[in-house]
């Protein structure tokens, strides 16, 4: 109990406890099959919903709506997509941090862990604290979290070549909904993904994949895998229809009568696939189950067909589903037996051996292991002896299948999956399809781990020979295939030799198949999102397209969970220069010398598999191996001093940082100064300079004291940032005042501030510059910030000389004796003051610029929404001139149909967000003034008139009561009712035609257009 009181008092924050309790409440609602509250998707993440609940809790609730919906159907799909859109908006639009993209990836991963973890209070507290700390965006902490979750740091300023062209969702053998799969791919850093379905594409799944990819700004393709007969075996081909303008166009293709007729034929193949899986399950119950029970010493009952289909949810049954179900059941039985043993105080020797055996078995257990050992795959791998038992589609040869697909879609990619195929098979299939096979799946992570693709390298050489028209190379490869067939003992050897001989004699035609359109490649993981200790997760990245530090870490194997594959991809960098339209002489000069352009970096990958099996290449995995989670609850919150500091209460941590910096400065001045004033007050002056500078800098960068009546000066101040600054500036006192000023300059070189002021202040300034650069690099600051802070050193030298002269002059006027000694003792403080003045100016300008850029993004987003809404309003009034209509006050046509279209609610939401951003966000007024200067008079008029909708108190109050921001709406509603008139009054500064006094009270111009308020008569 004493330890519990300790960590409750000194570890974690109150907000951490509140977050965990909020998650418990939300999970209780979800477990009771209740619907979690969802904010209106049109609300901006920096808008009025900030008053409803903390952003961290909003993120967790939204993630639960995405993860906990495995149902099929359009309603569940819309709920998942809305949650995904809200998560992206909250993180990419609602965070203003240096590593915005990587911070968002880490936060999503932490939230997933926090939701999955139940019952372990201390571990959840740690995750809650990590989540809130990650939202601050400290680059050093974000990189630590990336390494912890085995995520590769992705570039922030360009898009790397990161892809996976063979993944599965829950509609086939995967375990995640399409939206969940796309989100996980985005967390991995993947920008291009292809989702594979069996035999046909479920319409809802296709829509969800493509819309989810659009939300996350990813490129997604949909492939359909077919099995065709080839020489008594199955060959797998992936059909990817392409050439569509968007989601709607693709769905129209699926709804076409010809496509629907083909899908009906495909469903027969899907039903046959289901029949084979269920028959395989039956065989396991009869034979494999006995061997499994004998090996593990358990009594697992037979797996019923109903139980198996429930575990599959809405996907197509597969052998992977059997393996996963067996893994779950065996793990549960072994863990139950182990728990019973752990409950005993003493165990006999045999029982102790059994306990060790159980731990070993649990550590090695996996779905792949059980499926490979105990599930008979013969029915799956081989076609029946009588091919008539197969569905019509599966009886077709690859060439016949391609001809059938041409009747369905004119444009598509056809990929040959090389699983189980040799060189001679690839040559024959490529020749038979006569150029209709456009792609080879040249590398598959799962098959490569299982050793099922021995000929990938030589088949890749065949591809290069066909693309380059190299007759000699192609001839040698065909002859190599013929020698292999001769050496083999296949029953169809003679027929195959005759066929390969024909291809050899017809090489001229073979080469023409790919003369114009080269044979491309695809590379995939075949990931089903199932944890595996043997196979990497989804995603690959070309290492050359990452940042230099990350590339170095991968090549030097400092990220052991990732692997460099034996695949070398051909990539090249494209730099695009867009000239800046900067007016004046400075802009012309910058453009003249090449500094006046925006630089856009793009990477092109013409050949993802230029070579294979020639040692480690430049293609690395993005997914690591599965690491089993901790099996027992956390008994104590921290296990080391580092963890204690990491999870220390934030206020206490701030205090300790300031105290450490103060003590370092105090003892240096105490032992190094002769004057009593500096001995006792030097540290206070030193840290006071930095503290005041930080506060003034942050307040000015946020908009100043008069930016909004709702923002106080401390609303702009980040005390975490101030504490870090005071900590490092305190540690600089021993360096600057003692080592540099006293030891090096005064004792070593004999320089004093009175006799050699330029040399003394230059030395201290340069030392301070290197010190600041060092701790900036240690804290993983961006290069621009490091360079900007180092520039404080040379710029502060002349200012320090001015301060020193002023200080010396004041002492002379006061006739203070011993001026030389006083100036020498104050030299470091004077240099510090000059450095902080310069640093305050530089950093405040940078902070102000960043705040204005953030507000421009916020207001720009809301203004685009507003103009889109007014465009819809124009469509409702095709014969009216809306700008002219908005100028009037009493002659508007009231549109009762507008309220039924829900358009009026969107105007309410837009105005509420605009109002909140204006009054509660730093530099909002400055950003809006800049936007209004760019806008035309008509656009300003539309903006101002649409904001007048805030006068409709009854309707907006009803909107809050109906759950606009959830159940905790009191603060948001009070904010609106108290301040909307003040907000509208301030907006009049942008009115191109100021109203007369007698017209000011008549605000009903826009409200007359949208119809009467609730409770009023038309």
Q: How far is CA 458 from CA 428, 523, 613, in A?
A: 15, 16, 9
Q: Are strands 219-230 and 412-417 parallel, antiparallel or unpaired?
A: unpaired
Q: Which pLDDT belongs to residue 800?
A: 80
Window from 398-412, 420-434, 577-591 with minimum mean pLDDT: 577-591
* CB contact at 8 A, 69 and 76: yes
**CB-based burial, 236-275: b 16+ in 10 Å, e otherwise:** bbbbbbeeeeebeebeebbeeeebeebbeebeebbebbbe
* Residue 106 backbone zone (phi > 0: left; psi -120 to 50: alpha; other: beta): alpha
DSSP string, 421-474: --HHHHHHHHHHHTT---EEEEEEHHHHHHT--TTHHHHHHHHHHHHHT-HHHH
What average pLDDT score do residues 718-728 get?
89
pTM, two decimal places: 0.89
What average pLDDT score do residues 312-326 get?
87
pLDDT at 244 > cutoff 80: yes
Q: Exposed, middle or buried by CB within 10 Å (0-12, 13-18, 19+), for 947?
A: buried
Tokens at 390, concatenated: 């197969």
DSSP string, 805-869: HHHHHHHHHTT-S-HHHHHHHHHHHHHHHHHHHHHHHHHHHHHHHHHHHHHHHHHHHHHHHHHHH
Rg (CA), the chain: 34
Window from 179-183, 595-599, 768-772, 912-916 with minimum mean pLDDT: 595-599
What average pLDDT score do residues 110-130 get?
89
Other beta carbons within 10 angstroms of residue 14's beta carbon come to 10
Q: Which pLDDT belongs to residue 326?
A: 92
Window from 261-270, 792-801, 991-1000 with minimum mean pLDDT: 991-1000
Q: Which pLDDT belongs to residue 998?
A: 43
Q: Which pLDDT belongs to residue 592?
A: 63
What average pLDDT score do residues 194-212 get?
94
What average pLDDT score do residues 597-626 get?
86
Q: Which pLDDT belongs to residue 895?
A: 44
Q: Which pLDDT belongs to residue 887?
A: 60
What average pLDDT score do residues 226-236 get?
92
What average pLDDT score do residues 483-493 get?
86
Window from 32-41, 120-129, 500-509, 871-880 with minimum mean pLDDT: 32-41
Distance, CA of 72 to chain centre: 25
β-bridge partners, 223: 196
Q: Which pLDDT belongs to residue 35?
A: 56
**Per-residue pLDDT tens over the stretch 797-836:** 888 888 878 877 877 787 777 776 777 677 778 888 888 8
- Express the helix, strand and coil content of the chain in percent, nearest 5 each: 60, 10, 30
Q: Reading across the β-sheet that carries 162-167, which strands appear in turn?
A: 520-524, 439-444, 412-417, 233-241, 219-230, 192-198, 162-167, 540-542, 619-621
Per the model's pLDDT, the better-predicted residue between 40 and 544 turns out to be 544
pLDDT at 540 > cutoff 50: yes
Share of the chain above pLDDT 90, in %: 38
Tokens at 143, concatenated: 């990189």
Q: Which pLDDT belongs to residue 37?
A: 58
**Per-residue pLDDT tens over the stretch 886-926:** 665 433 334 444 555 578 888 899 999 999 999 988 889 99
What average pLDDT score do residues 763-792 get?
79
β-bridge partners, 233: 230
Q: Which pLDDT belongs to residue 629?
A: 61
* CB contact at 8 A, 556 and 616: no
* CB contact at 8 A, 762 and 753: no
Q: Which pLDDT belongs to residue 883?
A: 64
Tokens at 296, concatenated: 């593990």
pLDDT at 4 > cutoff 60: no
pLDDT at 441 > cutoff 80: yes
d(CA 336, CA 813): 87
**596 in helix, strand or coil?**
coil
pLDDT at 17 > cutoff 80: yes
**Per-residue pLDDT tens over the stretch 405-418:** 999 988 899 999 99
What average pLDDT score do residues 588-597 get?
64
* CB contact at 8 A, 1018 and 896: yes
| Average pLDDT of the chain to the nearest whole number | 85
Tokens at 635, concatenated: 């008994």
What average pLDDT score do residues 649-665 get?
92
Residue 897: closest CA among 873, 880, 878: 873
Q: 756-764: list long-range contacts, CB under 8 Å, 24+ apart.
A: 757/801, 757/804, 758/797, 758/801, 760/827, 761/797, 761/800, 761/801, 761/804, 761/827, 761/830, 761/831, 761/834, 762/797, 764/736, 764/740, 764/800, 764/827, 764/828, 764/831
- What kind and span of H or E run contains 914? helix 903-920
Torsion of CA 561, 566, 570, 572, to 10 degrees: 30
d(CA 236, CA 227): 5
pLDDT band at 360 (very low <50, low <70, confident <90, very high): confident
What average pLDDT score do residues 770-784 get?
78
Per the model's pLDDT, the better-predicted residue between 734 and 754 turns out to be 734
* CB contact at 8 A, 917 and 855: yes
Q: Which residues contact 555 (CB under 8 A, 6 or more apart)?
A: 543, 564
β-bridge partners, 603: 573
Q: Which pLDDT belongs to residue 1003?
A: 46
Tokens at 722, concatenated: 């101030």
d(CA 348, CA 207): 60
Per the model's pLDDT, the better-predicted residue between 492 and 213 turns out to be 213
* CB contact at 8 A, 212 and 190: no
pLDDT at 1006 > cutoff 70: no
Q: Which pLDDT belongs to residue 835?
A: 85
* CB contact at 8 A, 1013 and 954: yes
């Amino acid at each position: 109990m004493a330890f519990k009181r300790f960590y409750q008092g000194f570890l974690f924050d109150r907000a951490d406890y509140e977050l965990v309790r909020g998650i418990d409440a939300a999970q209780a609602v979800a477990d009771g099959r209740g619907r979690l509250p969802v904010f209106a998707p049109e609300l901006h993440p920096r808008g009025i919903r900030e008053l409803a609940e903390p952003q961290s809790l909003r993120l967790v609730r939204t993630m639960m709506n995405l993860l906990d919906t495995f149902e099929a159907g359009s309603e569940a799909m819309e709920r998942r997509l809305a949650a995904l859109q809200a998560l992206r908006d909250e993180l990419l639009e609602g965070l203003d941090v240096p590593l915005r993209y990587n911070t968002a990836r880490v936060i999503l991963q932490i939230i997933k862990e926090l939701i999955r973890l139940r019952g372990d209070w201390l571990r959840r507290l740690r995750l809650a604290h990590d989540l809130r700390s990650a939202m601050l965006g400290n680059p050093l902490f974000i990189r630590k979290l990336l390494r912890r979750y085995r995520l590769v740091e992705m570039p922030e300023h360009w898009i790397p070549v990161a892809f996976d062209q063979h993944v599965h969702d829950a509609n086939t053998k995967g375990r995640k909904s399409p939206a969940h799969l796309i989100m996980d791919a985005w967390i991995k850093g993947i920008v291009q993904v292809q989702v594979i379905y069996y035999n046909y594409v479920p319409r809802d799944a296709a829509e969800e994949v493509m819309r989810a990819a659009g939300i996350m700004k990813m490129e997604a393709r949909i492939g359909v895998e077919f099995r065709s007969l080839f020489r008594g075996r199955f060959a797998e081909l992936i059909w990817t229809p392409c050439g569509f303008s968007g989601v709607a166009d693709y769905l129209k293709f699926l709804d076409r009568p010809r496509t629907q007729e083909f899908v009906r034929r495909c469903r027969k193949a899907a039903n046959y696939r289901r029949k084979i899986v269920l028959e395989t399950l039956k065989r396991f119950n009869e034979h494999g189950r006995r061997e499994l029970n004998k090996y593990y010493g358990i009594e697992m009952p037979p797996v019923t067909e109903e139980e198996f289909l429930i575990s599959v949810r809405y996907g197509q049954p597969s052998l992977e589903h059997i393996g996963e179900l067996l893994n779950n059941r065996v793990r549960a039985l072994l863990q139950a037996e182990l728990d019973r043993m752990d409950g005993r105080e003493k165990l006999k020797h045999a029982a102790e051996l059994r306990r060790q055996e159980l731990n070993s078995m649990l550590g090695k257990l996996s779905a792949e292991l059980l499926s490979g050992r105990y599930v008979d795959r013969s029915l799956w791998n081989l076609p029946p002896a009588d091919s008539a038992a197969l569905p019509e589609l599966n009886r077709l040869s690859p060439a016949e299948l391609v001809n059938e697909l041409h009747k369905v879609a004119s444009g598509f990619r056809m990929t040959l999956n090389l699983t189980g195929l040799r060189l001679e098979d690839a040559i024959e299939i490529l020749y038979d399809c006569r150029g209709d096979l456009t792609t080879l799946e040249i590398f598959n992570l799962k098959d490569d781990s299982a050793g099922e693709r021995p000929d990938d390298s030589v088949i890749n050489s065949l591809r290069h020979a066909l693309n380059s028209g190299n007759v000699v190379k192609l001839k040698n490869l065909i002859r190599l295939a013929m020698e292999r067939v001769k050496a083999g003992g296949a029953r169809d050897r003679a027929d195959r030799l005759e066929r390969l001989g024909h291809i050899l004699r017809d090489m001229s035609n073979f080469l023409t198949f790919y003369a114009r359109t080269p044979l491309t490649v695809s590379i995939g993981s075949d990931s089903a999102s199932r944890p595996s200790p043997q196979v990497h997760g989804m995603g690959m990245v070309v290492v050359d397209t990452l940042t230099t530090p990350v590339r170095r870490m991968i090549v030097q194997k400092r990220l052991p969970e990732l692997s460099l594959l034996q695949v070398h991809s051909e990539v090249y960098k494209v730099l695009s220069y867009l000239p800046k339209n900067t007016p004046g002489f400075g802009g012309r000069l910058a453009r003249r010398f090449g500094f006046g352009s925006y630089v856009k970096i793009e990477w092109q990958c013409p050949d993802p598999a230029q070579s294979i099996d020639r040692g480690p290449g430049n293609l690395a995995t993005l997914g690591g191996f599965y690491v089993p989670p901790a099996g027992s609850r956390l008994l104590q919150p921290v296990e080391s001093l580092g963890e204690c500091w990491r999870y220390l209460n934030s206020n206490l941590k701030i205090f300790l940082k300031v105290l450490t910096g103060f003590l370092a400065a105090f003892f240096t001045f105490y032992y190094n100064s002769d004057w009593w004033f500096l001995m006792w007050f030097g540290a206070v002056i030193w840290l006071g300079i930095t503290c005041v500078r930080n506060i003034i800098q942050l307040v000015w960068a946020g908009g100043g004291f008069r930016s909004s009546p709702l923002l106080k000066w401390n609303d702009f101040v980040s005390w975490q940032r101030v504490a870090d600054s005071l900590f490092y500036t305190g540690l600089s006192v021993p360096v600057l005042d003692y080592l540099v000023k006293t030891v090096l300059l005064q004792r070593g070189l004999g320089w004093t501030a009175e006799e050699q002021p330029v040399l003394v202040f230059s030395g201290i300034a340069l030392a301070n510059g290197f010190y600041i650069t060092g701790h900036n690099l240690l804290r993983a600051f961006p290069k621009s910030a490091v360079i900007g802070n180092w520039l404080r050193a040379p710029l502060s030298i002349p200012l320090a000389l001015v301060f020193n002269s002023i200080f010396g002059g004041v002492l002379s006027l006061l006739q203070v004796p011993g001026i030389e000694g006083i100036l020498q003792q104050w030299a470091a403080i004077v240099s510090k003051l000059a450095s902080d003045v310069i640093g305050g100016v530089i950093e405040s300008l940078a902070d102000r610029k960043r705040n204005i850029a953030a507000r421009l993004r916020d207001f720009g987003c809301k203004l685009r929404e507003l103009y889109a809404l007014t465009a819809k309003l124009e469509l409702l009034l095709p014969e009216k001139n809306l700008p002219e209509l908005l100028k009037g006050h009493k002659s508007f046509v009231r549109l009762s149909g507008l309220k039924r279209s829900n358009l009026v609610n969107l105007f309410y939401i837009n105005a509420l967000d605009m109002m909140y951003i204006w009054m509660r966000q730093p530099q909002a007024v400055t950003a809006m003034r800049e936007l209004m200067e760019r806008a035309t008079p008509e656009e300003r008029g539309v903006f101002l008139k649409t904001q007048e909708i805030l006068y409709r108190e009854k309707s907006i109050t009803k909107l809050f009561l109906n759950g606009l921001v959830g159940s905790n709406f009191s603060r948001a509603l009070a904010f609106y009712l108290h301040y909307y008139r003040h907000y509208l009054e301030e907006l009049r500064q942008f009115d191109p035609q100021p109203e007369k006094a007698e017209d000011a009270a008549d605000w009903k111009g826009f409200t007359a257009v949208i119809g009467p308020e609730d409770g009023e008569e038309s």
